[in-house]
Structure formats: C-alpha cells, structure tokens
Structure 1
Amino acid sequence: MSVLQVSELTKRFGKFTALNGINLEVREGEVFGFIGPNGAGKSTTIRILLGILKATAGEAKIFGKDAWADAVEIHKRISYVPGDVNLWPNLTGGEVIDLFVKLRGGNNTNRREELIKRFDLDPSKKCRTYSKGNRQKVALVAAFSSDADLYILDEPTSGLDPLMEQVFQQCVMEQKQSGKSILLSSHILSEVEKLCDRVGIIRQGKIIETGTLSELRHLTRINLLVKTKEQITDLHVLKGIHEIDEREGVLSFQVDTEELDVVMKHISQFGVVKLESTPPTLEDLFMRHYEGKAGAGGRS
C-alpha cells in the first residue's frame, strides 16, 4: 500500500524548472532513499510534500490526501527532520522536544528519556549554546519520540559524529520494524545502502533510476581481483571490461554484470589462484550515473 505518491510532479521558479515530471512512491513499512547531488531537486520535492511549496503541475499525495490542500491533516501523521535545524535560542533542548511532541499530541516521556540518553544529549542547555550536531539531535529525538506514520528525513545526520549516525540508523530500523514508512534524503550513500529498501536517484529535476539495490546493481559493474598461474591474455578485447590494472601479479578490473559469465570462463583457462569479487556500492552506481553527465546545478 502506498503512503506517499508523487505523479508527474513539476515545479518551476520563473524560467527555471526545478522538478520536471517526477514520479515517486513510498510504500507502507519501507525506507525509501532519495539521492542526488546538491541542486538536483531533493529539497524542492520535500518542500512540496510538506505543503510549503505549491507544485506547478502534477500531484503529490500523502495518505491519499493532497500535500498542498490537506497539509494540516497530513502533518498530524508525519515527522520531519531538516538538514539544518534552527531552534528557539532561549528555550532548552528539552523544552523544544516537549513542544514538538505535544504539538503532535504525544506524551510518551519514557520514549523521550530513552532517546535523549541514546543520542547523548544534554536537554537542560539553552539551544543557543548547541553545536550543529546537538541541534540535529534535538530534532531527531523530537521526531522519533512522536508516533508518526511517515518520517520525512532531509539530510538528517548532517553534523552528527559516526557514533550518533549509528544510533540514528538503529532508530530508523526500529520505526521500520514497527510498520512505519520513511523517506530518507541523504548524500551519505553508505547510510542509504544500509537502511533503504528502495532508492530513487534524481538528477537535474528528473528521476533517472528507481528500484531496489539489487535491481540497480544489475545496471552496473562488479569489481574483480584475480591472480592466475599463467598470465591472462586478450582480456581487453572482451566486452564489458573496464579499468584494468595490474600490481604484483594481481589483476584488478571491473566487469559489467551481464558479461560476468563470459569473462569468468575466459580467465578460468589461465588457472585461477585467487579470486575476489565485490559488488558495486551505491556510490559506484551513483557515480556511474553522474560521470560525464554533470550539468549546471540549480536549486536543491
């Protein structure tokens, strides 16, 4: 079942087209990764979903309701964390968390206390004294203390140290296990890879690829390290071979997934002594889509 549905969404700012007919779907109980470089259109999409911006054309629906017309109703069931959190300077972190939780009608103090401890946050300090990382923690504690059905997280770990990133990842998995849906926009590709069921890649206002990581990996290359008894010949003439490099008798290269069978048959003739294969990372996938395609950036 779809929790969030975006169809042919377009947003123009004057003559500049920030979003050009994008389609997105987040299903119930899934973590959907939304990735792309700065200026690709991620934040513009999220602002439309939050009812902050009105789309020029197309539609954005959350829980079957219109993101612009029914924004107030929708906000009762969503939690949002931006990448740059601004807080009231004279309130303490604890007061801000309480305010956000009460706005959503929640009152789970045990959950709040547990999250404050896990994120190692001092809630008694005034917000003006907080670092960027601590401001981010306040927003995350407030978001995960609320009983939302959909979490919209836009670069949520910006400013967090690796230990706190791990805590964040655990919180996301807990929400997923309890059937909640999460839209995660992030440039930390290893984070997306760990957490997301499906991924959408956006470039210059268009979704250029959507699918599970295993589906997307079929479109890319596998990294191979090979050592053989005899020297491998004619490797470069095979289809789908890239970036051949040899060091101390060990050959490393990339091979297109669909050509792997032919390549393995070829190298096995030379007496394989050592063979290591690593699947492409999301970063490999992402870079392949962007290599030589980077255009002028615009609004994000």
Structure 2
Amino acid sequence: MTEVVKVKNVQKKFGKFQALSDVTFTVDAGEVVGFIGPNGAGKSTTIRILLGIINRQAGEAQIFGKDVWKDSLDIHKRISYVPGDVALWGSLTGGEIIDLFMKLHGGGDQQKRDELIQRFELDPKKKAKSYSKGNRQKVGLIAALSVHSDLYIFDEPTSGLDPLMEAVFQDEVEKLKHAGKAILLSSHILSEVERLADKIVIIRQGKVVETGVLNELRHLTRSTITLETIQTISDFARVVGVHDFQQQDEHSAVFSADNHFINDILVEATKLGVKKFESVPPTLEDLFMRHYEG
C-alpha cells in the first residue's frame, strides 16, 4: 500500500513540558487510522504538526513524501481537515462559507456539496451566528467532503452531532476509504473508531503505547466468558487463565480469561459438563481503558 503519512520519532516540547516523545505511526492510502487518547495525550499537537501549524523539535513528519513544515503549502492542496470545533464567520450563511472553503481549497464537486447538505440536514441559508455547535460541525464536514483530497484529517469531527448525523459521517468515511483515500480519525467516540478504523494508534502522555490492527490488539486483552455447567462451578476460579471470577449461582459464573488459555479453560469446563459457554472478545473500549486505569 502507498504510504501517505509517515510520523517517526517525533518530539515536541512546550517549555519544559514534553508534549510528544518519539511518536511513530503511518497512514496508508485506502486506510482509516484511529488516533485515540484522553484529553492532553498529544493528539491535537500531533495533528497540528502534520498540518504545519507548529514545528517539531526532532523526528520525521511527512505527508506524500514531503516534509510537513517545509512543504506545507503544497501538501495542503491535497488534504482536507475538520477540527473538533469549527469557527465560522457569523455574518455569512452556511452555504456561503462552504463555497468559500471549497474555493480556497481549489474547487470541488458542486453536486456532492448539494447532496451532503441534504444528507446532513443543514439549512445553508441561515447565518452562521445562529448555528448550534452541531451545525457548525456540519459546515466543516460538508466543505471537507465536497473537495477532492487524498488525505482527510478528522479531529473529533462528530463533536456536537446527533447519532443520525454521526451515521451519515461514518457512511461518507467508508466511501472515502473504498475510493483509496487515506484517513486519520481522532475521536473520543470509541464505537465510531471501532467501526471505521483499520488500524488503531493509542497515545498516552505524549507516547504511543499501542498500535496495530484492532483484531491483533484484541489478543492483548481478556475475553469475557459466561459459563454454565451441570456440576457445581465454585472451584473454577482456580483454573489458570481465569480472572475476576463472579459466581452467579451454583452452576454459572462470569469471568475474564486470557485468550491464550481459552482452550485449556474449555477443557476444564467440559469436565463439569458444559450447558453454556459464551466468549465475547474485548472491545476497543476495554483496550483503551486498560491503558488509562490508574
């Protein structure tokens, strides 16, 4: 796959505060990368470096093989960006602002613009000063999705949108992905990232603590097992690989299990006579919380 974004060992300090420390990840064409972490983890700082707004102190940061700081003007011609809080000109209408953004980018698809206005249920004739936060986000999203770009950077893009509009956004991202576009998606809505992302990058305190395909990362966390047996289940808590054992009654329990012990656990369960064995793989939220508990 074609590498569109390359971030390698990027460091950034604000005074004595180390905002980013050796941040490394890539985004390929046709790939959605979920960039997640709590407030203050370094997500927005990384995105501002990619956009050429601030410069890094060390490391490599490239888009389309070009340096994000030195070649930012050339890079911007081929990217679309939506921040978590879109600031607009209050005296202009939503439609006028969308047209202005499209013109500044260098043209766009007027038919796509009109279609998105309908899909996002935006009134383009209203002045921007009368818009809610959700409607301001819609203006930014419509403008970004109406122009032809090779890289889309979304920083909390659905902030303020209702679930129906979130679904519209997710559908549009799927279309971009299938068209071979590269997408960097920073979002606090983990279910959104889980649905859309091919790869996850988790950042904590300025450091990337986990990166990889979601299915691969799930091997690092425990599955939740619901077990119902014919014989009494009370001694099952002692089985290797079983954690957080919660007995429901004499014959049933819920517990978490290390994935590499699942087969051994199932063998032990059959000795008690299995009536029910349900294994639920960990969610992105489980993986995320594992890095932030405490």
Q: Secondary structure of 2:243's partner?
A: strand
Equivalent residue number for residue 141 of structure 1: 142
Equivalent residue number for residue 201 of structure 1: 202
Choose the corresponding residue for 1:280, options 273, 279, 282: 282
Equivalent residue number for residue 35 of structure 1: 36
The aligned amino acid for 1:121 is L
The aligned amino acid for 1:261 is N
For 1:102 and 1:177, locate their aligned partners in 2 and report how far apart those are by CA, in whole Å: 26
Note the alpha carbon deviations across 1:246-270, whole angstroms, 9 max, x for none. Answer: 2244311110111111111111111
For 2:84 and 2:272, locate their aligned partners in 1 and report how far apart those are by CA, in whole Å: 52
Equivalent residue number for residue 266 of structure 1: 268
Deviation at 1:235, TM superposition (A): 2.2
| 1:59 aligns to 2:86 (yes or no) | no
Q: Which runs of 5+ in 1 are unaligned?
A: 293-300
For 1:239 and 1:86, locate their aligned partners in 2 and report how far apart those are by CA, in whole Å: 55
Identity percentage of aligned residues: 60
Deviation at 1:226, TM superposition (A): 1.1
The aligned amino acid for 1:264 is L
TM-score, L = length of structure 2: 0.97
For 1:89 and 1:33, locate their aligned partners in 2 and report how far apart those are by CA, in whole Å: 32
Matches within 5 A, 1:1-300: 1-248=2-249, 249-292=251-294
Q: Secondary structure of 1:6's partner?
A: strand
Q: Secondary structure of 2:220's partner?
A: coil
Equivalenced residue count is: 292
For 1:175 and 1:117, locate their aligned partners in 2 and report how far apart those are by CA, in whole Å: 19
Q: Secondary structure of 1:218's partner?
A: helix
Contact 2:82–2:153, Cα closer than 8 Å, also in 1? yes
For 1:108 and 1:288, locate their aligned partners in 2 and report how far apart those are by CA, in whole Å: 43
Deviation at 1:105, TM superposition (A): 1.5
What's the Cα RMSD here?
1.0
For 1:246 and 1:191, locate their aligned partners in 2 and report how far apart those are by CA, in whole Å: 33
Q: Which runs of 5+ in 2 are unaligned?
A: none
Note the alpha carbon deviations across 1:280-299, whole angstroms, 9 max, x for none. Answer: 0000011112223xxxxxxx
Deviation at 1:233, TM superposition (A): 4.3
Deviation at 1:122, TM superposition (A): 0.4
For 2:102 and 2:270, locate their aligned partners in 1 and report how far apart those are by CA, in whole Å: 61
Contact 2:233–2:252, Cα closer than 8 Å, also in 1? no
For 1:240 and 1:106, locate their aligned partners in 2 and report how far apart those are by CA, in whole Å: 58
Note the alpha carbon deviations across 1:136-175, whole angstroms, 9 max, x for none. Answer: 0000000110111000000000000000000000000000
Deviation at 1:63, TM superposition (A): 0.2
For 2:167 and 2:108, locate their aligned partners in 1 and report how far apart those are by CA, in whole Å: 26
Q: Secondary structure of 1:234's partner?
A: helix
Deviation at 1:242, TM superposition (A): 1.7
Q: Secondary structure of 1:194's partner?
A: helix
Deviation at 1:13, TM superposition (A): 0.3
For 1:247 and 1:75, locate their aligned partners in 2 and report how far apart those are by CA, in whole Å: 57
Contact 2:233–2:272, Cα closer than 8 Å, also in 1? yes
